[in-house]
Amino acid sequence: MILTDNFQKPGVYIIGAAQLKVEKQSALSIREMGAKAIRDAMNDAGIEQVDAIYIGNMLSGLISHQQQLGSIVAGAAGLNGTEAVTLEAACGSGGAALRNGYMAIMSGMCDTVVVCGLEKMSHHDKTFITDSIATASDWEIEGGQGASFLTLNAGLMQSYLDTYKISPDLFAMFGVNAHHNANKNPNALLHKEITIEDYVNAKFISESLRIYDASPICDGSAAVILSKYPPLNHNNRPQVKITASTSATDFVGIANRVDPLEAAGIKRSGLKALDVAGISIDDIDFFELHDAYSIIATLTLEALGFAKKGEGWKLAVEEEITPNGSIPIATFGGLKARGHPIGASGVYQAVEAYMQLTGLGGDNQLKKDVRIGLIQSIGGTASTILTHVLVKQ
């Protein structure tokens, strides 16, 4: 039972969090991964039961031949009988699970829920995984014609370079920053610092994308406990409230968009979240964005107004995205270097933002006092977008 302050205005609070180390190939089964993250998060919150379980996952049915992860993981976590469903929104599945957990509490249907992001994908060969991920594209005009997310993002990158007449070398600091932060994160996949020179000398893996522009294939699971009320005193941690949760879409097929470089869905979801939370971009202390590819990070920074259109890369060059910069991103390594276990990434973002806001960031803790964190999870090439604002109370 969670003791609450009856005078506290109801809302949605994160009262516990847990994450598994992101690995190239986890020794645990997919149900074991989800169950461990959930039980660890419940132990962190000091609770034994929840009203519902929301699982974010994209690929289990395709590559593990296992659907109904909600019920599967509920049973493995000792929560058989609890309401449980799986949310799929491609790479934004974790963010979708977080939003559904948020809505369950805000609607009054639930008091306490667990949100778990979960993906086990590295037990298959790279070609099969790449083809499976491509099902999140517009299959008729993209995936079914041989396109992969690597080639789709490479196309966006090349379009950006051609439009603004800049060198791909200017994107180096996105990778350098991510690897630097991941190197301090014990739960990250990649513990390797890189330099600008390493980036410039790295091989191109598709058109204008270098290996340090793309996130790696990996396994992972993370979970947060959401509650209607915060505990009176939980491990002397500050209370963290989700003050906004928004979602938006854009055409899945890039060719159907008026201006693919505008990132209209990212802008729509992000600006709505700021409006709902009653804040501006100047209030945001850090941003866990969806840096699966450095071009998406760039377009995101521009879409939300952190940089002018065509100048998002300048925030990287000027080191404004680093821990000591004006808008730190990927503070634990991001998707690029912490790793991108597809359906779990959005929940890893929530866990990491919670850690920053409660002072549990360890070597990754930002030196400045942080109060407001923004997280954004994206499915496809910016076609399903979920944005959340987390505030330290």
Return the active site residues: 91, 340
> What is the rounded CA–CA span in Å between residue 352 and residue 332?
7
CB of 99 within 8 A of CB of 245? yes
3-state SS assignment for residue 377: strand
Neighbours of 326 (CB within 10 A): 14
CB of 67 within 8 A of CB of 30? no
Identify which of 393, 196, 197, 376 has the alpha carbon closest to the alpha carbon of residue 292: 376
Which residues, in sequence order, are bridge partners of residue 223? Answer: 18, 116
Q: How many residues does the chain have?
A: 393
> What is the rounded CA–CA span in Å between residue 185 and residue 338?
8
Task: Give the helix ranges, DSSP H, for the chain.
Answer: 30-45, 69-76, 93-106, 126-133, 149-164, 172-182, 196-201, 264-277, 294-303, 312-317, 345-358
Neighbours of 281 (CB within 10 A): 15
